[in-house]
């Protein structure tokens, strides 16, 4: 009588961040063994192909099992490189159709609320409008990830405010850290508090949105104490949670914050180091758009 034995899944992580899972089922009886493989792409939880390999061997040895798993891996990569996976990618041609009427929640500080300008001018609002999405803005000027600033008039931390967000969002963007950096400066204890708070916040968001796509957008390339360790911490904690980061803390960023003439044209004031004006948001929109579309792949 034939029996079924599940072998371990073979997980393949591609350079673009996609995960492929190769599930292997061994069906054996006597000296004839059939290995049936199913290839899944994690993004869509969709089986894209099934194939079988027959061996007239006694499959009880570990060597045979290892060989079969390696063979399966080779077949999987052959499918990847011949473009089978390409059919599932989110492209410019079908993004509008896929994203239409989906919900995007954006939470954070004045990068989200847009300071003294209407948040409808912000790049994330423009993204939502372009793709026909429902857009929820949970930004608050002066807000922090870790620190309660209610006494200063800036409200509680994101650790409290995330609970206010709509539950059924498809995309969740966190844009915060600028004000935390200003609070932390060179304090190791405050940085540890930020790290632990962010870790807990991401855990809670992943529980709140088990099917949602979560992404983090860092502050601009500000040349003040606190920003370097805060951005490093953001990237480290997000990596732990497998959350993609749009890292703007770089001289290569399209937002050339440290250039006075650039700030005069694209920020809400020449001395402003946080808030883009309408023209600045238009400039950054293609960068943010690419990040979100990549998140959805």
What digits encode the pLDDT tens for the residues 124-157?
999 999 999 999 999 999 999 999 999 998 999 9
- Of 88, 110, 126, the residue at which a domain comes to its end is 88
As a whole number, the mean pLDDT across the chain is 81
CATH code of the domain containing 290: 3.40.50.1110
Please tell me whether residues 12 and 125 are part of one structural domain: no
Please tell me whether residues 158 and 207 are part of one structural domain: yes
In angstroms, rounded to a whole number, what is the distance separating the alpha carbons of residues 292 and 262?
25
Q: What's the pTM?
A: 0.71
Q: What are phi and psi of 252, to 5 degrees?
A: -85, -10
Band the pLDDT of 27: cuts 50, 70, 90. very low
Question: Where in the sequence is the domain holding 36, given as residue range(s)?
Answer: 3-88
Please tell me whether residues 52 and 167 are part of one structural domain: no
* Other beta carbons within 10 Å of 59: 21
Please tell me whether residues 35 and 163 are part of one structural domain: no
Please tell me whether residues 101 and 84 are part of one structural domain: no
Please tell me whether residues 25 and 83 are part of one structural domain: yes
Measured distance between the N- and C-terminal CA atoms of the chain, rounded to whole angstroms: 43
> Alpha helices, DSSP H only, in 162-247?
178-184, 188-208, 227-240
Please tell me whether residues 102 and 194 are part of one structural domain: yes
Query: What local confidence, expressed as pLDDT, does residue 51 receive?
Result: 43
Mean pLDDT of 53-67: 53
Q: Reduced to 3 states, what is the DSSP secondary structure of residue 88?
A: helix
Take residue 237 and report the two structure tokens written for it.
């904690």
Please tell me whether residues 153 and 67 are part of one structural domain: no
Please tell me whether residues 105 and 73 are part of one structural domain: no
Please tell me whether residues 138 and 262 are part of one structural domain: yes
User: How buried is 273 (Cβ within 10 angstroms: 0-12 exposed, 13-18 middle, 19+ buried)?
Assistant: middle
Q: What are phi and psi of 153, to 5 degrees?
A: 90, 10
Please tell me whether residues 117 and 233 are part of one structural domain: yes
Number of domains in the chain: 2
Overall size of the chain counted in residues: 297
Is the Cβ–Cβ distance between 297 and 14 less than 8 Å?
Answer: no
- Of 62, 88, 114, the residue at which a domain comes to its end is 88
In angstroms, rounded to a whole number, what is the distance separating the alpha carbons of residues 262 and 265?
5
Mean pLDDT of 82-102: 65
Band the pLDDT of 95: cuts 50, 70, 90. confident
């Amino acid at each position: 009588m034939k029996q079924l034995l599940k072998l371990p899944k073979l997980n393949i992580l591609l350079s673009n961040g996609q995960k492929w899972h190769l599930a292997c089922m061994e069906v054996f009886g006597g000296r004839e063994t059939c290995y049936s493989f199913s290839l899944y792409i994690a993004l869509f939880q969709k089986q894209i192909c099934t194939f079988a390999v027959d061996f007239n061997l006694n499959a009880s040895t570990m060597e045979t099992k290892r060989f079969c798993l390696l063979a399966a891996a080779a077949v999987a990569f052959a499918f990847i490189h011949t473009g089978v996976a390409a059919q599932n990618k989110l492209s410019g041609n079908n993004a509008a159709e896929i994203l239409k009427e989906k919900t995007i929640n954006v939470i954070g500080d004045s990068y989200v609320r847009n300071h003294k300008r209407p948040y409808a001018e912000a790049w994330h609002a423009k993204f939502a409008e372009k793709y026909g999405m429902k857009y929820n803005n949970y930004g608050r000027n002066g807000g922090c990830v870790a620190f309660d600033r209610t006494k200063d008039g800036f409200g509680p931390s994101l650790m409290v405010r995330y609970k206010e967000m709509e539950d059924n969002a498809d995309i969740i963007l966190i844009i915060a850290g600028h004000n935390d950096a200003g609070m932390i400066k060179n304090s190791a204890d405050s940085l540890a508090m930020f790290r632990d708070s962010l870790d807990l916040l991401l855990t809670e968001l992943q529980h709140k949105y088990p099917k949602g796509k979560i992404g983090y957008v860092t502050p601009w390339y500000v040349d003040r104490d606190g920003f370097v360790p805060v951005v490093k911490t953001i990237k480290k904690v997000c990596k732990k949670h497998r959350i993609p980061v749009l890292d703007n803390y770089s001289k290569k960023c399209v937002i050339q914050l440290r250039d006075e003439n650039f700030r005069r044209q694209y920020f809400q004031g020449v001395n402003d180091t946080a808030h883009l004006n309408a023209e600045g948001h238009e400039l950054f929109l293609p960068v943010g758009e690419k990040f979100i579309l990549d998140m959805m792949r």
